[in-house]
Amino acid sequence: MASRNYHRHAIEPFGRELITSGDLDPVYNAITGAGWDMETRCRWMVAYWCFYHSGFACYAAQFKGAHFWDALQVAAENTTPNPYNERWPRGSERRHFRADAATRAIEELSKQYAHAADMVSFCAGPEPHTTFAAINKRAKTHRGFGAWMGFKIADMIDRCTPVEVDFELGHLFMFKDPEKAATMQWTLTHPGEELAPRQQRLTEVVTALIAEFSDLKAPPNGDRPVGIPEVETVLCKWKSHMNGHYPLYHDSREIRKQVIDWASVSPLATSFLQALPYGDQQ
């Protein structure tokens, strides 16, 4: 666990460092920079969406077709050990994706999709330009996939596939953490003032942050300006940062620890690590 004894940064320099260092969403940099073909990326993303563990996703993504779903089912059942004679891992964000809920979900996915890429294509939709709302609606048709995972799926499709996704301001505040962070920031910039109505303060903070980062491009591809999904991540991580749970580069370090042991059983883990940002260790 990271020490809480670190310097707290204002949101502007904190967010700027997240974006420029690659620590904003390190896995996006890794899977787009690893040199994988799109089918491999899709297998990695689906395994990650199910288990939210980068090391396992690297392991599972090396299997194709039905063998991919078999690997996910073994991890979902968790009755036989992984290659390290330990339990199959899950990220804390997917702690409820276990037991019958997980095994039934994987069984249904395997029947619905011959290949992981088919699931990604279904969620993305048929057009090269789509919306978060459309992806979220399709993502939530799968067992065990709620609104938060719908957001992550939309964000990863936008950043890690050729599909362009539009996000609206209201989607950013479906979740409590970015809203709490925005309220914290609004209070800091309006000392002594009565709290403005919710929509006003949220819009004001997000608009200000997008303007603050207007000279930066959205990672990992740098193909558009920083926008709503990047600001959502900055706000979430800044809230954790201010509460003592997120020193800068925390995700880059933790993901590296999560993946490094899997390199002995998955070449994909090796290429993933080579493309993963180091943060301040570079």
Q: Does a structural domain hold residue 3?
A: no
φ, ψ (nearest 5 deg) of residue 164: -95, 135
For tokens 């994987």, what's the residue? 106
Say if 185 falls within a structural domain: yes
Whether 248 contacts 7, CB under 8 Å = no
Tell me if 234 is assigned to some domain: yes
How high is the pLDDT of residue 1?
A: 46
For residue 69, tell me if it sits in a domain: yes
**Residues that are catalytic:** 232
For 150-172, letters b (16+ CB in 10 Å) and e give: bbbbbbbbbbbbebebebeeebb
Domain assignment present for residue 243? The answer is: yes
The pTM is what?
Answer: 0.94
> Residue 83: its pLDDT value, please?
94
Residue 88 located in a structural domain? yes
DSSP the chain: ---S-SPPPPHHHHHHHHHHHT-SSHHHHHHHHS---HHHHHHHHHHHHHH--HHHHHHHTT--THHHHHHHHHHHH--S--TTSSPPP--GGGTTS-HHHHHHHHHHHHHH-SSHHHHHHHHH-SSSEEEHHHHHHHHTTSTT--HHHHHHHHHHHHHHSS-EEE--HHHHTTSHHHHHHHHHHHHHHSTTPPPPPHHHHHHHHHHHHHHHTTTSB-TTTT-SB--HHHHHHHHHHHHHHHTTS--TTHHHHHHHHHHHGGGGT-HHHHHHHHHS--GGG-
What is the domain count for the chain? 1
Q: How far apart are the first and last CA of the chain?
A: 21
* Residue-level pLDDT at 172: 63
Nearest to 94 by CA among 83, 82, 106, 107: 106
- Note whether 258 and 54 are within 8 A (CB): yes
Identify whether 28 is part of a domain. yes
Give the tens place of pLDDT for each residue, 25-63: 999 999 999 999 999 999 999 999 999 999 999 999 999
111 found inside a domain: yes
Query: What is the span of the domain harbouring residue 128?
Result: 11-276
| Contact in structure between 202 and 179 (CB atoms under 8 Å) | yes
Both structure tokens of 135: 């992806």
pLDDT tens for each residue of 104-140: 999 999 999 999 999 999 999 999 999 999 999 999 9
Cis peptide before 220 (omega within 30 of 0): yes
pLDDT, residue 2, reads 52
Spatial separation of the C-alpha atoms in residues 66 and 41, rounded to whole Å: 17
pLDDT along the chain (282 residues), means of 10: 80 98 97 98 98 97 98 97 94 90 97 98 96 96 94 96 91 79 96 92 94 97 94 96 95 96 96 90 45
Provide the β-strand partners of residue 166: 131
Name every residue whose Cβ is closer than 8 Å to that of residue 203 and which is 6 or more positions away in sequence.
Answer: 169
